[in-house]
Chain A
Amino acid sequence: MAQRAVAIAPRWPGAAAAALVLVLTIGTLAAVGWRAEWQRGLSPADWAAIRFTVTQALVSAGLSVLLAIPVARALARRQFRGRSVLITLMGAPFLLPVVVAVIGLLAVFGRAGMVNSALAWLGLPAISIFGFHGVVLAHVFFNLPLAIRLILQGWLVIPAERFRLAASLNAPVGRLLEWPMLRAVVPGVFLVIFLICLTSFAVALTLGGGPRATTVELAIYQALRFDFDLGRAALLACVQFGLCVLAAAVVWRLSLVDTMGAGLDRTVQRWDLRWPVLDYLMIALVAAFLFTPLAMVVWRGVPGLALLPAEVWAAAGRSVIVAGASALLCTSMALALALRGGRMVAITGVLPLAASGLVVGTGAFLLVYPFINPARLALPVTVLVNATLALPFALRAIGQAVEGIDRDFGRLGASLGLSRWGWVRIVVLPRIRRPLGFGAGLAAALSMGDLGVIALFAGEAQQTLPLAMYRLMGAYRMEAAAGAALVLLALSFAAFWICDRGGRGNADL
Chain B
Amino acid sequence: MLICEALVIEQDDFRLTADVTFNTGKITALIGPSGAGKSTLLAALAGFLAPASGRVMWQDMDLTAVPPGARPISAIFQDNNLFPHLTIAQNVGLGLRPTWHLTADERACVERALSSVGLAGLGGRKPAALSGGQQSRAALARVLLADRPVVLLDEPFAALGPGLKDEMLDLVQSTLGVAGRTVLMVTHDPDDARRIADQASLVAAGTVSAPVATQAFFEAPSPALSAYLG
- In the assembled complex, the CB of B83 is this many whole angstroms from the nearest CB of chain A, namely 6
| Contact assessment for A430 and B85 in the assembled complex, using a CB-CB cutoff below 8 Å | yes
Q: Which residues of A406-431 have CB atoms within 8 Å of chain B's CB atoms?
A: 408-409, 411-412, 414-419, 422, 425-427, 430-431
Q: Does A475 contact B (CB under 8 A)?
A: no
Most buried by A among B74, B80, B127, B146: B80
- In the assembled complex, the CB of B134 is this many whole angstroms from the nearest CB of chain A, namely 15
Q: Can you list, as one digit per residue, whether each of B170-214 has a CB less than 8 Å from chain A (1) or not (0)?
A: 000000000000000000000000000000000000000000000
Q: Does A39 contact B (CB under 8 A)?
A: no
Q: Which of B46, B67, B85 contacts A507 (CB 8 A)?
A: B85
Of the stretches A2-10, A13-21, A110-118, A232-240, the one at the interface is A2-10
Residues of B within 8 A of A6 (CB): 47-48, 67-69
Residues of B within 8 A of A5 (CB): 47-50, 67-68
Roughly how many angstroms separate A507 CA and B67 CA in the complex, as a whole number? Answer: 31
| Contact assessment for A416 and B98 in the assembled complex, using a CB-CB cutoff below 8 Å | yes
Q: Can you list, as one digit per residue, whether each of A109-139 has a CB less than 8 Å from chain B (1) or not (0)?
A: 0000000000000000000000000000000
| Contact assessment for A409 and B67 in the assembled complex, using a CB-CB cutoff below 8 Å | no
Q: Which of B74, B81, B83, B95 contacts A427 (CB 8 A)?
A: B83
Question: Given known contacts A1-B49, A5-B47, A419-B98, is B69 in contact with A414 (CB within 8 Å)?
Answer: yes
| Contact assessment for B69 and A417 in the assembled complex, using a CB-CB cutoff below 8 Å | yes
- List 23 interface pairs A-B (beta carbons < 8 Å), by A numbering: A1-B43, A1-B48, A5-B47, A5-B48, A5-B50, A6-B67, A6-B68, A408-B80, A411-B77, A411-B80, A414-B48, A415-B46, A416-B95, A417-B68, A417-B98, A426-B86, A426-B98, A426-B100, A430-B86, A508-B126, A508-B127, A509-B84, A509-B85
Residues of B within 8 A of A417 (CB): 67-70, 98
Q: Does B11 contact A (CB under 8 A)?
A: yes
Closest 7 CB pairs of A and B: A417-B69, A414-B68, A418-B98, A430-B85, A408-B80, A508-B126, A415-B68
Question: Given known contacts A1-B49, A508-B128, is B69 in contact with A412 (CB within 8 Å)?
Answer: no
| Contact assessment for A2 and B80 in the assembled complex, using a CB-CB cutoff below 8 Å | no
| Contact assessment for A411 and B83 in the assembled complex, using a CB-CB cutoff below 8 Å | no
Q: Does B31 contact A (CB under 8 A)?
A: no
Q: Which of A412, A419, A431 contacts B77 (CB 8 A)?
A: A412
Q: Which of B11, B73, B126 contacts A415 (CB 8 A)?
A: B73
Q: Does B219 contact A (CB under 8 A)?
A: no
Roughly how many angstroms separate A27 CA and B223 CA in the complex, as a whole number? Answer: 68
Residues of A within 8 A of B100 (CB): 425-426
Residues of B within 8 A of A507 (CB): 85
Q: Does B94 contact A (CB under 8 A)?
A: yes
Residues of B within 8 A of A508 (CB): 84-85, 126-128
Residues of B within 8 A of A411 (CB): 46, 48, 68, 75, 77, 80
Most buried by B among A414, A430, A507: A414
| Contact assessment for A412 and B83 in the assembled complex, using a CB-CB cutoff below 8 Å | yes
Roughly how many angstroms separate A467 CA and B50 CA in the complex, as a whole number? Answer: 57
Question: Given known contacts A1-B43, A418-B69, A426-B100, is B11 in contact with A412 (CB within 8 Å)?
Answer: no
Residues of A within 8 A of B69 (CB): 6, 414-418
Most buried by B among A409, A416, A427: A416
Tell me the nearest residue of chain B to A430, going by C-beta: B85
Roughly how many angstroms separate A300 CA and B64 CA in the complex, as a whole number? Answer: 72
Residues of B within 8 A of A418 (CB): 69, 94, 98
Q: Which residues of B115-141 have CB atoms within 8 Å of chain A's CB atoms?
A: 126-128
Q: Does B12 contact A (CB under 8 A)?
A: yes
Roughly how many angstroms separate A417 CA and B147 CA in the complex, as a whole number? Answer: 13
Q: Does B99 contact A (CB under 8 A)?
A: yes
Residues of A within 8 A of B70 (CB): 417
| Contact assessment for A3 and B49 in the assembled complex, using a CB-CB cutoff below 8 Å | yes
| Contact assessment for A409 and B83 in the assembled complex, using a CB-CB cutoff below 8 Å | yes
| Contact assessment for B67 and A426 in the assembled complex, using a CB-CB cutoff below 8 Å | no
- In the assembled complex, the CB of B206 is this many whole angstroms from the nearest CB of chain A, namely 17
Q: Which residues of B1-30 have CB atoms within 8 Å of chain A's CB atoms?
A: 11-12
Residues of A within 8 A of B81 (CB): 412
Roughly how many angstroms separate A98 CA and B131 CA in the complex, as a whole number? Answer: 51
Residues of B within 8 A of A431 (CB): 83-85
Tell me the nearest residue of chain A to B11, going by C-beta: A2
Roughly how many angstroms separate A502 CA and B79 CA in the complex, as a whole number? Answer: 29
- In the assembled complex, the CB of A441 is this many whole angstroms from the nearest CB of chain B, namely 21
- In the assembled complex, the CB of B11 is this many whole angstroms from the nearest CB of chain A, namely 6
Residues of A within 8 A of B11 (CB): 2
Tell me the nearest residue of chain B to A6, going by C-beta: B67
Roughly how many angstroms separate A412 CA and B127 CA in the complex, as a whole number? Answer: 15
Besides A408-B80, A418-B98, A426-B100, 11 more A-B contacts (Cβ < 8 Å) are A2-B11, A6-B47, A409-B80, A412-B81, A414-B67, A415-B75, A416-B69, A426-B99, A431-B83, A431-B85, A508-B127
